[in-house]
Structure 1
Amino acid sequence: MPSSLTTRINNIQSSIGVTQSGVFDNATCIELLSRGGKTANTTDLKTLIKMVQRMVNTDDDGVPGSETVTKIEALIAPVLPKPPAGASMVLSKKSIDALIAFEVTSKAFYEQKYQSPIWPGGESGVTIGIGYDLGFYTTKQITETWGPLVSASDLQLLISVKGKTGLNAKAALPPVKQVKIPFDTAIRAFHFFTLPEFAGKTKRRYPGVQKLPPDAQGALVSLVYNRGTSIEGDRRREMKNIINLVAAENLNGIATQIRNMKRLWDPQKQGGLITRREKEAQMVENASFNILPEDQVIV
């Protein structure tokens, strides 16, 4: 009678489409590495097994026992954990890190450029933290998010520019620039308030988004974080087209629509937005359920 581990390995092999041998052979290891975005640069079986073990964050002893099998099962599981009450989606850590980088580049760059409020231009309002646009929030919302994090006087300065966008926001910026928001404070506001808020907005705009792989969910949150949820008018046609594509779980179609948005911006003046759309599209089209639990973030 085969051991339970043999049966589990057979199930893994069936799931990834290789011959069911009941042992970790070369074909199994190479396919697992491929699904994890790794290149198998050897044919030595023990080395391949160790590479798989490192990929799934377990001891690389070259002996694929129960711990290794459990980690691999989690990696290839096609079902995500159900978000608990109060949560909306399951994002990948990679997509959240990308969103933060899109908004502020890095901690060092944030501390150099974004600690004080800015006006990004266009129809934006005065913006603080990780892309928090005060032009689109109410006094109550600003107070709930930033009241526990800044002084009372700074909070009143932030509230003074609520609802102001475009040139009105630009004109209102100078007195507010004295406010300083450290990176750690900005990240706290992002994780506790802004990210869950935009996950909820994304789920409401794109029903069924929570059924997509975590990278795709995260890319769409990034899109909504940047562009909002409006679907009216020609500039928003791709945002509207994505609704049915999400319902159909059509990753390639979603990626195409995100890329099509590049038509909206001048590469010479708004190259950053074009790059962002391309990276979001790549996250969607390469998204997979082959993701470890520790790389998933429920929001």
Structure 2
Amino acid sequence: MLAHRRRANGRVRMRSGAWRMTTVSMVELQQLLNKVGGILEVDGKAGPETELAIRDAREAAGLPAGGVDDALVAWLQKQPDPSPVVPTEGVVFIARQEVSSRTNYDHACAKPTWPGGESGVTIGIGYDLRFQGDFESCWAPRLPAATAAALRPWIGKQGSAAAAASLSQYSIPFFAAWDVFTALTLPAEVRSTEGAYGDLMPLPPLCRAALVSLVYNRGPGLGDPGDTTGPRSEMRAIHDLIQKNELDKVPAQFLSMQRLWPNAAGLRARRAAEAQMWQDGLAAAKTGG
């Protein structure tokens, strides 16, 4: 465990493995760790997930085992954001929606899974082999040959519990999954989102994140222009509101989509979180944040 003491100013002094001392805001530290795959809830608390992210970051930086020190913070500050379009907060939101946390990934998502329904066998951070067509460029260079060979027969096919069970001997390392997610999958989803909704850059950063999260989860289809009650009607309404620059009306459309999943609390919660993210983006834009 990392020795730490919370100070009155909300900052935490953490003793590193080298017994050096550094003062760093826990919130700022978690935000920095999220740039390199921490996928942390930014709550200002030094819990097990944050400690795991620190260990991972030190290893990635080529630093000896230890805690938080100036060398780690300096390395983290030099790392690029995971996306030039979606803010890191949004990237982490999407990743957490898919795998919940770094620990949960290792326990429940590292092996191929089948989410159910029409999904295919799913690997990494929500990569569905049935609906993704770039396995060879995304995954083959990052996986052992035997793992890639075992997964190939499931490309383009509906999955099943039996399919996932048959692949249980294979595991996808988290940072291979993070690399594919940030370098390939997320940029593809940004392009897909822009194909449906137009250039994202004029939107506030958190609004971009909410929209990419929606498309990542539901796909880019907008349905028929005249359909005001179908399953895609709210997605088209969002498109039209963006075109008219009526951005304050968009959150209601995220919430309206909840009607589609009366028995799926997770999806309803995701739409509510996206609506809040959009509102937060508008608020930040108004205050210059």
The question of 1:118 aligning with 2:113 is answered yes
Kept after mapping to 2: 8 A contact 1:117/1:176: yes
- CA-to-aligned-CA distance 1:105-155 (integer Å, 9 cap, x gap): 1101111100001111122111111111111123xx101000111011211
Could you say what secondary structure the match of 2:142 adopts?
coil
The question of 1:131 aligning with 2:122 is answered no
CA-CA distance at 1:250 after TM superposition? 2.6
Letter in 2 for 1:161: W
Letter in 2 for 1:220: L
- Across the aligned residues of Structure 1 and Structure 2, the Cα RMSD in angstroms comes to 2.2
Residues matched between the structures, number: 202
Partner of 1:235: 231
Letter in 1 for 2:124: G
Q: Distance in 1 between matches of 2:243 and 2:255?
A: 19
Kept after mapping to 1: 8 A contact 2:124/2:172: yes
Partner of 1:70: none
CA-CA distance at 1:175 after TM superposition? 2.1
Letter in 1 for 2:217: N
Matches within 5 A, 1:201-280: 201-232=192-223, 234-267=230-263, 270-280=264-274
CA-CA distance at 1:169 after TM superposition? 4.0
CA-CA distance at 1:170 after TM superposition? 4.1
Kept after mapping to 2: 8 A contact 1:208/1:247: no
Partner of 1:297: none
- Structure 1 unpaired stretches of 5+: 1-53, 58-87, 293-299
Q: Distance in 2 between matches of 1:104 and 1:291?
A: 32
- Structure 2 unpaired stretches of 5+: 1-24, 29-82, 225-229
Kept after mapping to 2: 8 A contact 1:89/1:203: no
Matches within 5 A, 1:27-38: none
CA-CA distance at 1:157 after TM superposition? 1.8
Q: Distance in 2 between matches of 1:220 and 1:132?
A: 19
Letter in 1 for 2:127: Y
Taking structure 2 as the reference length, the TM-score comes to 0.65
1:175 to 166, 187, 190: 166
Q: Distance in 2 between matches of 1:237 and 1:211?
A: 23
- CA-to-aligned-CA distance 1:30-58 (integer Å, 9 cap, x gap): xxxxxxxxxxxxxxxxxxxxxxxx9xx9x
Partner of 1:146: 139
Kept after mapping to 2: 8 A contact 1:198/1:224: yes
Letter in 1 for 2:221: S
- CA-to-aligned-CA distance 1:57-112 (integer Å, 9 cap, x gap): 9xxxxxxxxxxxxxxxxxxxxxxxxxxxxxx9622211111111111111011111
**Residues 224, 89 of structure 1: alpha-carbon distance in 2 compared, 3 angstrom cutoff:** farther
**Residues 235, 208 of structure 1: alpha-carbon distance in 2 compared, 3 angstrom cutoff:** same
Q: Give the fraction of aligned pairs with identical amino acids, expressed as a percent.
A: 37
Could you say what secondary structure the match of 1:240 adopts?
helix
Letter in 2 for 1:285: Q
Q: Distance in 1 between matches of 2:117 and 2:221?
A: 17
Relative contact order: is structure 1 or structure 2 higher (C-alpha 8 Å, sep ≥ 6)? 1
Letter in 1 for 2:121: V
